[in-house]
A and B are shown apart, each in its own frame.
Chain A
Amino acid sequence: NAGVTQTPKFQVLKTGQSMTLQCAQDMNHEYMSWYRQDPGMGLRLIHYSVGAGITDQGEVPNGYNVSRSTTEDFPLRLLSAAPSQTSVYFCASSQTTGTGGNQRAFFGQGTRLTVV
């Protein structure tokens, strides 16, 4: 199994450019999420989805959009990149039971984004 696949691995953007970070999982997981990792701050939740067609905001959603048209894919869009969005981005997925908080999350390898 490929698990969680993120593309690209590295990206440099100019301020104001837009781009989409791709995330795909092949484990038929219902729950998917995007985090950003910044030095000394751990990982912070950007957006999450509990299933196809359902998304919601996390702690730091400003400047990011998501959609979930299929179970497998959960792309993250930056509409107008800013230097403050320079970070490492991780996508994660987990199976959910009726409650779901106790499930193991599987993480992608990350996308290192630099906005200049």
Chain B
Amino acid sequence: AQSVTQLGSHVSVSEGALVLLRCNYSSSVPPYLFWYVQYPNQGLQLLLKYTTGATLVKGINGFEAEFKKSETSFHLTKPSAHMSDAAEYFCAVSSDTGRRALTFGSGTRLQVQP
């Protein structure tokens, strides 16, 4: 069984400040980890994913995430927030067994203050 926990349903930062969105996962098999972003009234778009190899993954719009197996974490960061980053962010896990479907966290809504 797999699960994802996102700490903080709402995060507010100032424009230009560091963005840190936390994600911890549970998986009994090697996980694949994803971050998706959802803008208002839209579907989800892939930001980045970790499958194998390098544990620091760079995505679109300046976001990156680091897979830390010992901490079962996959936190999302961006050095400098932009107003256009305001959205809801979902961490998700999947694997090569079972349904191979994504299991999502409950989401974190990022607010960027001017």
Task: Please tell me if B96 contacts chain A, counting CB pairs below 8 Å.
Answer: yes
Task: Please tell me if A56 contacts chain B, counting CB pairs below 8 Å.
Answer: yes
Q: Is the CB of B104 within 8 A of A100?
A: no
* Distance between A30 CB and nearest chain B CB, rounded to angstroms: 11
Task: Please tell me if A74 contacts chain B, counting CB pairs below 8 Å.
Answer: no
* Distance between A101 CB and nearest chain B CB, rounded to angstroms: 4
Main secondary structure of the interface of B (DSSP, over half): loop
Q: Is the CB of A40 within 8 A of B106?
A: yes
Chain B residues positioned under 8 Å from A96 (CB to CB): 100
Most buried by B among A33, A44, A56, A100: A100
Chain B residues positioned under 8 Å from A109 (CB to CB): 41-43
Chain B residues positioned under 8 Å from A42 (CB to CB): 4, 6, 90, 104-107
Q: Is the CB of A102 within 8 A of B49?
A: yes
Q: Which 7 A-B pairs have the closest CB atoms?
A: A107-B43, A42-B104, A99-B96, A102-B51, A101-B94, A101-B100, A101-B96
